[in-house]
A = this chain, B = another copy of it.
Amino acid sequence: MARRSATAAAVCEELSLSYVESPTRCGTCAIRHKAICAALCADEISALNRLSRRRSVPAGQTILGEGEAHTIFANIVSGVVKLTKTLDDGRQHIIGLLFASDFLGRAFRRDNPYFAEAATDVELCIFPAAGFEKLLPDHPGLEHRLFQFTLSELDACQEWMLLLARKRAEERVASFLLMIAKRVPNMDCLHTENPGGVRFQLPLSRAEISDCLGLTIETVSRQMTRLKTKGVIELVNYREIVIPDIRALQQAAYEASPA
């Protein structure tokens, strides 16, 4: 299985000059009421605000290296971040996707257990690791909120395990599209919803989708074609799809004909 992996060099050029940085203003922030920031008191928000910096990260850029000490935590303001794990021989898997208002970073652990990379252009609200972890013990509300996020992440992860363990290729692809369709309204990608269906852009390439689903590029491609042939989806172009009837896709997500 040929693997597409970022170079080691790329992993190290963290926080490089290509980032655009600006001061944070929580009052006008798009995710103020959805991210960990929601449910925080004025006191906690201002403590966070003092720590934070806004940053733009272009698609493809590394945010956190696997196994490295992590230097930052971050809220995803817009765009999609992918979290990847890699086997020594290069086989890899995307263990999670982060969308707008999700939180990036593994608290209470020195080394980061995965590799985080911008899948699309991404806007981040960054907290230096040291400062953020110092904040936690004094602000139980903040830690509680992080705990909630972690529990949801665990739920999603367990759900995804069932997909990897027991679903066939077509069901996996359908499930993936469904998952994206649910999250896409939160993304800054194109998204239209009307009686005729839902239309949006995929934030990931075929290679990345295959790394989400434990399949090969070719299998993903074939199953996309198959769903298209069945009329479950329409392909506007490689990155843009239309779902005429969500229910048909839901059915494909776990009742794919074995033949």
Contact = CB atoms under 8 A, between A and B. Distances in A.
A207 to B, nearest CB: 14
Copies of chain A in the complex? 2
A96 interface: yes
Nearest to A144: B143
Contact of A214 (B89, B140, B166): B166
Nearest to A258: B1
A161 interface: yes
A219 interface: no
Interface residues of A, number: 42
A195 to B, nearest CB: 28
Contact of A151 (B87, B93, B108, B254): B108
Contact of A143 (B147, B160, B164): B147
Nearest to A136: B144
A239 interface: no
Contacts of A158: 85, 95-96, 113-114, 157
Interface in A101-141: 106-109, 113-114, 140
A159 to B, nearest CB: 7
A214 B164 contact: yes
A128 B106 CA distance: 30
Contacts of A114: 158
Given A95-B158, A144-B143, A158-B114, A165 B166 contact: no
Which of A113, A160, A165 has the most C-beta atoms of chain B within 10 angstroms of its own C-beta? A165
Contacts of A162: 85, 87, 93, 95
A154 to B, nearest CB: 5
Given A91-B167, A157-B158, 9 more contacts: A95-B162, A106-B151, A108-B148, A108-B151, A114-B158, A140-B143, A143-B147, A146-B147, A150-B151
